[in-house]
């Protein structure tokens, strides 16, 4: 019990440190822009060492995307944990559509505005965003290969993973543009859901019965 409590406390401290670093970075980026802020300044603002910052975030770019990566991980988990009778498309589409409701919250819109402004102003962040999308596409291909005789580099798996992730990424970019243009609330939610539904419907013909999990 003592060991378990210590591990739990250690994990909470790690999460607190990670959150503090992200919040400190976000404040500095919002005030001065991504390019002009150094990791050393972020470390001082969070009252940690530069080494600690890099232990949590391998690059400065990851300080911007640290909060965003979670949703891609949620998509991967949904596909990996799909129930018997559920296709990859259905499992992937569900969290995307469910996540649209969060767009009604002003806090979500503000976060998108801050991140969108940073990304649009920084070529380095735009490159990193594409790299992250590519890496999650590869992870999705690996998940699709589980339980089959195919390898993750199989062209079919790469195509399916790429199609699904491309719809998600296109929706993210569209939502970002609409929020930066002033769209908010229920109208934004309805618009996002409509675009996602229409885009995924285009994949239904080929993927509706693809990789359905057997009982």
Q: What is the pLDDT of residues 94-117, one digit of tens each?
A: 999 999 999 999 988 988 898 898
Residue 161 is predicted with a pLDDT of 96
Task: Kindly report the pTM of this predicted structure.
Answer: 0.80
Dihedral of the CA atoms 169, 80, 96, 68 (nearest 10)? -60
Q: For residue 34, which phi and psi values (nearest 5 degrees)?
A: -65, -45
Residue 3 is predicted with a pLDDT of 55
Q: How far apart are CA 57 and CA 203, in angstroms?
A: 35
Residue 9 is predicted with a pLDDT of 78
Residue 1 is predicted with a pLDDT of 59
User: Could you give the C-alpha distances from 182 to 104, 113, 137, 148, 169, in angstroms and in order?
Assistant: 13, 9, 30, 46, 20
SS (H, E, C) 154-210: CHHHHHHHHHHHHHHHHHHHHHHHHHHCCCCHHHHHHHHHHHHHHHHHHHHHHHCCC
Give 66's pLDDT tier (boundaries 50, 70, 90): confident
Residue indicated by tokens 């699904």: 164
Residue 136 is predicted with a pLDDT of 95
For residue range 176-194, what is the model confidence (pLDDT) as tens digits?
999 999 999 999 999 999 9
The second-level CATH assignment, the architecture, of 2-60 is Orthogonal Bundle (1.10)
Residue 28 is predicted with a pLDDT of 93
DSSP string, 101-169: GGGGSHHHHHHHHHHHHHHHH-HHHHHHHHHHHHHHHHHHHHHHHTTSS--TT-HHHHHHHHHHHHHHH
Residue 2 is predicted with a pLDDT of 55
Task: Catalogue the long-range contacts made by 42-51 (C-beta closer than 8 Å, 24 or more residues apart).
Answer: 46/17, 46/20, 46/21, 47/20, 48/17, 48/20, 48/21
Average pLDDT over residues 68-79: 87
Average pLDDT over residues 61-76: 85
For residue range 3-27, what is the model confidence (pLDDT) as tens digits?
566 667 788 888 899 999 999 998 9
Residue 97 is predicted with a pLDDT of 96
Domain 68-207: give its CATH code.
1.10.357
Residue 135 is predicted with a pLDDT of 94
Residue 17 is predicted with a pLDDT of 93
Mean per-residue pLDDT of the chain? 90
Q: How far apart are CA 209 and CA 55, in angstroms?
A: 42
Same fold, 2-60 and 68-207: no
Domain range list for the chain: 2-60, 68-207
């Amino acid at each position: 019990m003592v060991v378990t409590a210590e591990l739990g406390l250690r994990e909470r401290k790690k999460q607190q440190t990670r959150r503090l670093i992200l919040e400190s970075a976000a404040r500095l980026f919002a005030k001065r822009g991504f390019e002009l802020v150094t990791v050393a300044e972020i470390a001082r603002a969070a009252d940690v060492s530069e080494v600690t910052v890099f232990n949590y975030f391998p690059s400065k770019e990851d300080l911007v995307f640290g909060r965003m990566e979670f949703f891609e991980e949620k998509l991967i988990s949904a596909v990996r944990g799909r129930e018997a009778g559920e296709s990859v498309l259905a499992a992937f589409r569900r969290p995307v559509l469910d996540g649209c409701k969060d767009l009604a919250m002003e806090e979500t819109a503000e976060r998108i505005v801050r991140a969108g402004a940073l990304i649009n102003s920084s070529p380095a962040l735009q490159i990193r965003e594409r790299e992250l999308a590519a890496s999650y596409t590869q992870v999705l291909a690996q998940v699709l290969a589980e339980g089959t005789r195919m390898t993750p580099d199989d062209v079919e798996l790469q195509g399916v993973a790429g199609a699904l992730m491309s719809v998600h990424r296109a929706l993210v970019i569209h939502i970002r543009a609409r929020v930066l243009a002033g769209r908010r609330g229920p109208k934004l939610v309805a618009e996002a859901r409509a675009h996602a539904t229409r885009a995924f419907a285009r994949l239904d013909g080929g993927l509706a019965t693809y990789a359905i999990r057997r009982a």
